[in-house]
Amino acid sequence: MPYFKIETSQKIKDADADKLSKDASSFLSGLLGKPEHVIMVSVCQGMRILFNQTTAPAAYVVIKSIGLPAEKCPGYAEAVCDFLEDAIGVPADRIYIDFADINGSMFGWNRQTF
């Protein structure tokens, strides 16, 4: 049930946002070792983000997953920054990442919890 939310100030055309969503799904699947069919991605683009007193390109990312290992998050952070820098041109020093290990009993899908 990994969830990958990308909020960015970058303006992305619809076709490019669709490609970004698909690429992000594949990327997160490989990063976490989870099957792609359980990954949800949302892309919120063109947002007004002020970071370090400037509106230069920036991103706020949320990655949630059941069993997300905290000890692997530093490596995940590097990989996510590299992915976003390549995909949408946001530099690593303008990206915040919110990692969350979700308790399966507190996350629902298909009329039940995990």
**Residues known to be catalytic:** 2
Q: How far apart are CA 80 and CA 17, in angstroms?
A: 17
Q: How far is CA 39 from CA 13, 53, 54, 88, 92, in A?
A: 22, 34, 32, 20, 23
Q: Which are the contacts of 5, defined by CB distance < 8 A and separation ≥ 6? A: 41, 42, 44, 61, 62, 63
Q: Which two tokens stand for residue 35?
A: 């099957």
Distances (CA, A) of 17 to 87, 104, 109: 10, 29, 25
